[in-house]
Amino acid sequence: MKHVLESVESQFEVFQILNEDGKIVNKDDMPDLSDEDLKELMRRMVYTRVLDQRSIALNRQGRLGFYAPTAGQEASQLGSHFALEKDDFILPGYRDVPQLIWHGLPLYQAFLFSRGHFHGNQMPEGVNALSPQIIIGAQYVQAAGVALGMKLRGKKAVAVTYTGDGGTSQGDFYEGMNFAGAYGAPAIFFVQNNYFAISVPVEQQTAAKTLAQKAVAAGIEGIQVDGMDVLAMYAATKHARERAINGDGPMLIEALTYRYGPHTMAGDDPTRYRTEDLDNEWEKKDPIVRFRTFLEGKKLWSEEEENKVIEQAKDDIKEAIKEADKYPKQKVTDLMENMYEELPHNLQEQWEEYKEKESK
């Protein structure tokens, strides 16, 4: 009898371009990015790191609500997003707010999402995205539908969705990839493997050695990428996008990454399940540190430039929080009006009841 597991797993090697020392280790796959693009990628990563730090602080002050920290995942989130076009449709998970912001969601609306205000979910016209999905896996089956829609419309665009390592255990994770595969639909499925689903390590999710190999079950391409390497994330996504719009179907991209912070700000304490050694090991892989080294080597980045981005981010965040504070409070009648195109009998009645209450 033939045993194939080892030979399957050997097909999934980590794709890397920039190593931990900021050196290019894979010239062949080096993406074609201008100096300005490279700087813009760095700006976005630094900006998003500041956004994470400020969001945690604002959450602690009670000025933000639900927040899932992103520090450590900048290369995975922003490198992948940088390879997308405006027409591409993003179906984010709950940790994927940065991709939405860089796709066009105004910062103050992202803050309103965190606080729990419907305006935070009102994507501006032309921002092709859903608000962050709370039901883990649901974004995957929906992405298959968006991608099939794009294919039927003849669009040269892709549906892009993100989940975590824990999410790969869901039925919808498998169904979403499998449907997109069966229809040859232009979808890119990301797994951001940060090794922990709250407190549960990835080894307890599956006996599979990689998450990328789960693509095999759907008969689609899969790749495992160093998710702390922004150039590798960009190159892999760009490749998946080109395949998809050329009619070659979906792809699964596993990003090996790490969240430096807790799972969410709702009382999770990572010291219960992660060792300091592990945290230190991953801090050495920091995507911003290695990309900074790379850019400084090319004389494209300076401390001065970095400080400029940090100040800009802080100013923007301050302004955005002010704008969020100013935004009108929600009324029950608002919530009712967003339920249906036309209010049915029961809601019409309740609307009048609440309108009366609100006028007092």
Residues labelled as active-site residues: 259, 263, 273
Give dist(CA 57, CA 135) in Å, integer.
Answer: 26
Q: Quick one: which of 37, 34, 42 has its CA closest to 74?
A: 42
Segment interacting with another protein (CB under 8 A) among 31-39, 177-185, 221-229, 312-320: 177-185
Interacting residue with another protein among 48, 142, 168, 205 (CB under 8 A): 142
Interacting residue with another protein among 100, 159, 220, 223 (CB under 8 A): 159
> Counting contacts by CB under 8 A, is residue 178 touching another protein?
yes
Give dist(CA 52, CA 47) in Å, integer.
Answer: 9
**Shortest gap between Cβ of 183 and another protein (angstroms)?**
9
**Shortest gap between Cβ of 348 and another protein (angstroms)?**
9
Residue 14, SS3 per DSSP: strand
Our CA angle for 151, 157, 160, nearest 5°, is 100
Q: Which CB, 303 or 341, lies closer to another protein?
A: 341
The residue type of 65 is G
Q: Which CB, 166 or 176, lies closer to another protein?
A: 176
Q: Which CB, 273 or 327, lies closer to another protein?
A: 327
Please give the backbone phi and psi of residue 196, each rounded to the nearest 5 degrees, phi first.
-140, 135
Burial category of 296 from C-beta neighbours within 10 Å (exposed 0-12, middle 13-18, buried 19 and up): middle
> Counting contacts by CB under 8 A, is residue 335 touching another protein?
yes
* Residues listed for the chain: 360
Residue written as tokens 């939405």?
100
Q: Which CB, 141 or 320, lies closer to another protein?
A: 141
**Shortest gap between Cβ of 280 and another protein (angstroms)?**
39
Q: Which CB, 26 or 350, lies closer to another protein?
A: 350
**Shortest gap between Cβ of 347 and another protein (angstroms)?**
8
User: Judged by CB under 8 A, how many residues of this single chain contact another protein?
Assistant: 41
How far is residue 70 from each of residues 31, 56, 97, 188, 263, measured CA to CA in Å? 25, 10, 9, 21, 9
Interacting residue with another protein among 182, 200, 217, 332 (CB under 8 A): 182
Give dist(CA 279, CA 283) in Å, integer.
Answer: 6
> Counting contacts by CB under 8 A, is residue 89 touching another protein?
yes
Residue partners of 189: CB distance under 8 A and separation at least 6: 140, 143, 161, 163, 176, 177, 180, 250, 251, 252, 253
> Counting contacts by CB under 8 A, is residue 175 touching another protein?
yes
Segment interacting with another protein (CB under 8 A) among 43-51, 170-178, 208-216, 246-254: 170-178
Interaction mask 121-140, another protein, x per CB under 8 A: xxx------xx---x--x-x
Q: Which CB, 121 or 312, lies closer to another protein?
A: 121
Q: Which CB, 119 or 209, lies closer to another protein?
A: 119
**Shortest gap between Cβ of 162 and another protein (angstroms)?**
15
Please give the backbone phi and psi of residue 129, each rounded to the nearest 5 degrees, phi first.
-170, 160
Strands annotated E in 78-204: 89-91, 159-164, 187-193, 196-197, 200-201
Gyration radius (Cα) of the chain, Å: 21
Give dist(CA 208, CA 214) in Å, integer.
Answer: 8
**Shortest gap between Cβ of 345 and another protein (angstroms)?**
5
Instruction: Report the interface residues with another protein, using CB under 8 A.
Output: 89, 118-119, 121-123, 130-131, 135, 138, 140-150, 152-153, 159, 171-172, 175-176, 178-179, 182, 335, 337-341, 344-347
